[in-house]
A and B are shown apart, each in its own frame.
Chain A
């Protein structure tokens, strides 16, 4: 099949909505191109990638040490504040570029005892194994499918016009703000599916094991940051506790912001179970691209976001080392453009702004606001009858 007859995005005359249609064969050809890109990068993995992740871990350890040390000098406020910043940065690197990516299996090929998806656990209250279930499996398999991907609204928020409105959602902005501040705890509770327990769809006995895992993990994390390290600073117990809590909250604000920019800015699409039933790998790829959004920024910004600023590439290749996403992005974008597909990207303030705007708008029923998705993509899900 030649790609010379690709449809161009055409502007619909009676609205701002552009419509793109891809045939079954075009989607499969797109899938093959993405598979080839992956194969090229995977074949090239080696010492460079190992050195990269170890260098990030080394920086994270140093930042953590500096942050813990600064807690001994609360009487010098600038040093203490720098310590909070250092500890927050350490936790951000730990959760994003190290934890999230290692637990995706991105570094399993190194065959290291700790830095693999089976053994790793991160510096947050959410147990690694539970997160791997709700994130690696549920979210990455069923990305943006309403009713299946619980990352759409986390069971608390209304994040899509197709979620039925009720008066509870008038508090959308307040719930989102609370989730942002206490994000680490929200992530911990994610796998419980609390709203399903409330609605009686899930029994308490089903979640006993999950609760025990949460208790084991969270109690150790709380003991570390709010008892042991404060106690180790002796007379500065209170200031260290405040410092550690602040670092955790700064990390929460950052991780929430990056993660919410991944799937909720204007233009990111959602799907129904029916349309995604029996989808091919090519169709899965298209869904990942349409449902994800990138953030532009400097190299440092990408590292601090765990390269989730390359959310599109991450969703296409969740187990490819994240330090490879920047070099893959140019090619993914070129492929998108060639097939007429949108490649949703923008600066942090733009993506964040549009995400909060969406949270605000969706607190109201649909008739009071208007849909601002500007590209509609139709893909032919079934092979046309009689096609070769």
Chain B
């Protein structure tokens, strides 16, 4: 009964706000007062290393928590534009409560530099629900090996913290690769864990010192090959390849669980590049890019996407560019950010492009 009354009141409130979501009113009172949207207030900004920033966030009540290893989409406004990026929470898994993300700053990284240099406590960010299959199983493995490199530390740190908070009994080995000792976020905490928590062994390796240490089988063989041990790994491609090669050779490939993180390397785009393929992922059609607009190429491929003016003014033909680079044929601007809307009547692919059409 109480539930039905609540539902009734809820629909009445939404009917009074029609045609707008209720949150479009509430945000002018307090952005943390939300009806459906999930947002988070920045509580603390810590700069643990020269090339990272750690944000502690207080989510609104809609936040349902995360499982160790998963990621969340965070949105922040930079010069009027909302940019969204995925980050793995570094704190132990929980259903509620605070959220901690550590962001590695890379040269020219718009969002990462903004989060490190501009964001202040009190600012409200948008959050989207968690995702990702990279997580500890509900039934925790007895023996766990966690391997990370660079900013890949956050999802596996979440796993480590989760196991510790649960009082995990089995052995846990935490292996992390950083450039130098100064590049390890959470180094104080990791050191304390190593010294004080029974069964947890922290092994740090540095790749840019006088005696650089890159991954070698010897770093984890003693623990990874033990009976039933499960290996969770997140890091750059070179590390992933090396670990995969090792586990394949050792016959324990089925115990390896991975998540790749990719640094969006700036790619030089040739605007006259008419090579590559255009993929219409919504309809499973792929065609050779012939340099004309996406709308024209879609029509030639037998698709019938909605369109209107065919000159870039009416926005009837807007579709999502999932991946690849495109050129606005009116302005010559080239854009590469994934999951952005483009008007396909005035947009041509540069190389391989995936469009959700």
State how many angstroms separate the Cβ of A61 from the closest Cβ of chain B: 5
With A47-B80, A49-B80: A121-B19 Cβ-Cβ less than 8 Å:
yes
State how many angstroms separate the Cβ of B8 from the closest Cβ of chain A: 12
Neighbouring B residues of A229 by C-beta, 8 Å:
16
Contact B18 A281 (CB under 8 A): no
Contact B308 A46 (CB under 8 A): no
Residue of A nearest to B312 (CB): A319
Interface-side segment among B48-56, B246-254, B313-321 = B313-321
Interface-side segment among A111-119, A245-253, A291-299 = A111-119
Q: Which of B81, B308, B311 contacts A111 (CB 8 A)?
A: B81
Chain B interface helix/strand/loop/mixed:
loop
Q: Taking the complex as formed, is A204 at the interface, i.e. its CB lies under 8 A from any CB of chain B?
A: no
Q: Tally inter-chain residue pairs, CB-CB below 8 A.
A: 100
Contact A104 B19 (CB under 8 A): no
Neighbouring B residues of A35 by C-beta, 8 Å:
330
The 6 residue pairs across chains A and B that have the minimum distance between CB atoms: A137-B308, A50-B80, A137-B314, A141-B309, A136-B314, A105-B315
Q: Taking the complex as formed, is B64 at the interface, i.e. its CB lies under 8 A from any CB of chain A?
A: no
- Within the assembled complex, what's the spacing in Å between the Cα atoms of A141 and B315? 12
- Within the assembled complex, what's the spacing in Å between the Cα atoms of A140 and B24? 29
State how many angstroms separate the Cβ of A142 from the closest Cβ of chain B: 9
Residue of A nearest to B317 (CB): A137
Neighbouring A residues of B315 by C-beta, 8 Å:
104-105, 108, 117-118, 132, 136, 319
With A45-B80, A46-B79, A109-B81: A140-B16 Cβ-Cβ less than 8 Å:
no
Given A51-B80, A58-B28, A141-B314, 4 new contacts (CB under 8 A): A46-B80, A49-B80, A284-B311, A318-B314
- Within the assembled complex, what's the spacing in Å between the Cα atoms of A116 and B82? 12
Contact B79 A141 (CB under 8 A): no
With A58-B28, A281-B311: A123-B318 Cβ-Cβ less than 8 Å:
no
Q: Taking the complex as formed, is B331 at the interface, i.e. its CB lies under 8 A from any CB of chain A?
A: yes
State how many angstroms separate the Cβ of A148 from the closest Cβ of chain B: 12
Q: Taking the complex as formed, is A6 at the interface, i.e. its CB lies under 8 A from any CB of chain B?
A: no
1/0 per residue, CB under 8 A from A, across B158-194: the answer is 0000000000000000000000000000000000000
Contact A111 B18 (CB under 8 A): no
- Chain A CB within 10 A, most for which of B15, B37, B84: B15
- Within the assembled complex, what's the spacing in Å between the Cα atoms of A51 and B12? 31
Neighbouring B residues of A121 by C-beta, 8 Å:
19
Give B residues with C-beta under 8 Å from A. Answer: 12, 15-16, 18-21, 24-25, 28, 37, 77, 79-84, 126, 308-309, 311-316, 318, 330-331, 340-341
Residue of B nearest to A142 (CB): B309
Residue of A nearest to B24 (CB): A114
Neighbouring A residues of B318 by C-beta, 8 Å:
105, 108, 117-118
- Within the assembled complex, what's the spacing in Å between the Cα atoms of A136 and B317? 12
Contact B313 A140 (CB under 8 A): yes
Contact B313 A123 (CB under 8 A): no
Contact A61 B80 (CB under 8 A): no
- Within the assembled complex, what's the spacing in Å between the Cα atoms of A367 and B24? 55
Neighbouring A residues of B312 by C-beta, 8 Å:
319
Q: Taking the complex as formed, is A122 at the interface, i.e. its CB lies under 8 A from any CB of chain B?
A: yes
Neighbouring B residues of A228 by C-beta, 8 Å:
12, 15-16
Residue of A nearest to B29 (CB): A61
